[in-house]
Amino acid sequence: MSCLSFGLACGGGDSAGTSEDESAYGGETADDSTTGSDLTSAHAVTGFKALETPVSRVLSQDLTALLPVGASVPARSTVTATRSLSLEGTPAYLVVAEPSMRSLVVKKSDFDAAAAAGTSVFTSTLKEHVQAPLSRVLVADAAQEMAVSIDMCQSSKAWDLALFDWLRQVGRAIGAPVPVAIAMTGGWAKAHGPQLLQLIGWHAAKELDIVWVNHSYTHPLNCNAAKTSCAFLTAPSVDFLAEVTENEKLLLGQGAVPSALFRFPGLVHDSGRRSQLSGLSLFALDADTWLAKGQPTHDGSLILVHGNGNEPPGISKFFSLAEQGHWLDQAKAGKLRFVSPLRTISAAAQ
């Protein structure tokens, strides 16, 4: 690809957002204050449990999902259940559907009626990537491609609405919602209920194609006094299972279906936590293009920015790149594609 196409790494004229003045964790530790929750659940989620062993089925007929509302999975798809739950009193499973790797909630009775599958691409890929976080998307030859991920760590600041508006604008221009990973924390969701519902509304209205990524429930920092080193979820005191499942329950309660992608706070993890995560049927989603840290874009970039007001240099860099690289025009011309972050799983399967 040409560096000019993405507007970066060609040298000259690019002075915004260098990494030298950023902490090692960018916006991850910039603001840990939260306010009380103004969020109420739209859906009753009870009996939520992670399956010790994921179970796969092959659908003999089209399957209509309970969540997202209106979603379905076509016949002959392989689906893998990773969580059991009761949604509004209906026994259900959280499943991952192939080949899209999208997550849905389906009736337990519908799932159980389908034929058993010996294995699935999802589970075999999961086993092969226990210690290998995902950080690249599958790149096609026809156009330059990138995936955008937006971290929403706890924050008392106003969110970066302009970023979401720009992505919606691109979606209108190309006639399809832009896929975007939103790495959500319970802390941000509870403190910014109206904004969370706005995101969910944009997804439902097909203005954004949101892949919900679990960024942990409380997003603990566990930094040393100087904040030069933070353990985040690798601290021994962390209740890792609760950090994962409580956030999933919160999202499902709002009608947002968590994907099989998990973003470790600070992108900090160790072998023990990676093993635990895989045991919960989740992939660690890293990023190779954390803009505020000065990491350059490339074809197949997995971009990381913070949309919670905590990392202005990342947002500035994003808009600077978009302007220099004419991203909107390039997208309209089909020369630049924003691809689903779920393609990190597809890339790993190859």
Of 179 and 265, the one with the shorter C-beta distance to Zn ion is: 265
> Can you tell me the distance from the alpha carbon of 116 to that of 54, in angstroms, rounded to the nearest whole number?
12
Binding residues with Zn ion: total (CB under 5 A): 4
SS3 260: strand
H helix runs in 207-239, sequence order: none
Residue nearest to Zn ion as judged by C-beta position: 153
Of 39 and 221, the one with the shorter C-beta distance to Zn ion is: 221
Give percent helix, percent strand, percent coil of the chain, each to the nearest 5. 30, 25, 40
Least distance from Zn ion to the Cβ atom of residue 153, Å: 3
Of 65 and 148, the one with the shorter C-beta distance to Zn ion is: 148
Of 102 and 215, the one with the shorter C-beta distance to Zn ion is: 215
Of 220 and 255, the one with the shorter C-beta distance to Zn ion is: 220
Taking CB under 5 A as the rule, which mask of x and - marks residues 262-301 in contact with Zn ion?
---x------------------------------------
SS3 46: strand
Of 260 and 268, the one with the shorter C-beta distance to Zn ion is: 268
Q: Is 28 in the site for Zn ion (CB under 5 A)?
A: yes
Least distance from Zn ion to the Cβ atom of residue 181, Å: 13
Residue 309 zone, left/alpha/beta (φ > 0; ψ -120 to 50; rest): left
H helix runs in 92-212, sequence order: 108-113, 121-128, 161-174, 186-191, 193-204
> Can you tell me the distance from the alpha carbon of 280 to that of 249, in angstroms, rounded to the nearest whole number?
14
Least distance from Zn ion to the Cβ atom of residue 32, Å: 10
Contact 214, 183 (CB under 8 A): yes
Q: Is 26 in the site for Zn ion (CB under 5 A)?
A: no
Least distance from Zn ion to the Cβ atom of residue 228, Å: 17
Question: At a CB cut-off of 8 Å and minimum separation 6, what does 79 contact?
Answer: 56, 57, 59, 63, 73, 95, 96, 97, 98, 104, 106, 111, 114
Contact 267, 149 (CB under 8 A): no
Contact 122, 80 (CB under 8 A): yes
Of 220 and 265, the one with the shorter C-beta distance to Zn ion is: 265
Q: Which of 151, 248, 286, 311 binds Zn ion (CB under 5 A)?
A: 151
Least distance from Zn ion to the Cβ atom of residue 333, Å: 34
Least distance from Zn ion to the Cβ atom of residue 215, Å: 5
Least distance from Zn ion to the Cβ atom of residue 151, Å: 5
Q: Is 307 in the site for Zn ion (CB under 5 A)?
A: no
- Provide the binding-site residues for Zn ion, judged by CB under 5 A: 28, 151, 153, 265
